[in-house]
Amino acid sequence: MKFKKHSALMLACTAWIHTIVGIIVYWQQIIDIANDGVINAVKPQLYANRAAAFWFFLFGVLMFMIAQLMNWLIRNKGIDIPKFVGIHLLVISLIGVCLLPVSGFWLIIPQAIIILRK
């Protein structure tokens, strides 16, 4: 099967799901950040949930950016995704699964394995 050529799309879908879940889970924190004027509204030492919301969204954006870069390499340059991308995704997701077993990190493991396969 040619899953590898679709790995960028799978990662982009994961990023979108991650972001949508973040909007649902952190809706109140998003409202609070907006009500406090956005600038310097997170203050992790005071608002741990706001900091969690920020990192949740930042990770989703970074994951989407990686997916877009992967797609560009595959579609525009005709280059396979380098194995180091799969290794990094696998390591990040395994660390995430260990620290947060009830999370979406499980979704990245099969995607990393697809990238690592020949």
Give the model confidence (pLDDT) of 66-105 as tens digits: 999 999 998 899 888 899 999 999 999 999 999 999 888 9
What is the number of structural domains in the chain? Answer: 1
Give the pair of three-digit tokens for residue 36.
């406090």
Residue ranges making up the domain that contains 36 = 3-116
Angstrom distance (rounded) from CA 96 to CA 104: 9
DSSP letters for the chain: --GGGGHHHHHHHHHHHHHHHHHHHTHHHHHHHHHTTSTT---TTT-HHHHHHHHHHHHHHHHHHHHHHHHHHHHTS--PPPHHHHHHHHHHHHHHHHH-SSSTHHHHHHHHHHHH--
Average pLDDT, the chain: 90
- pTM for this one? 0.82
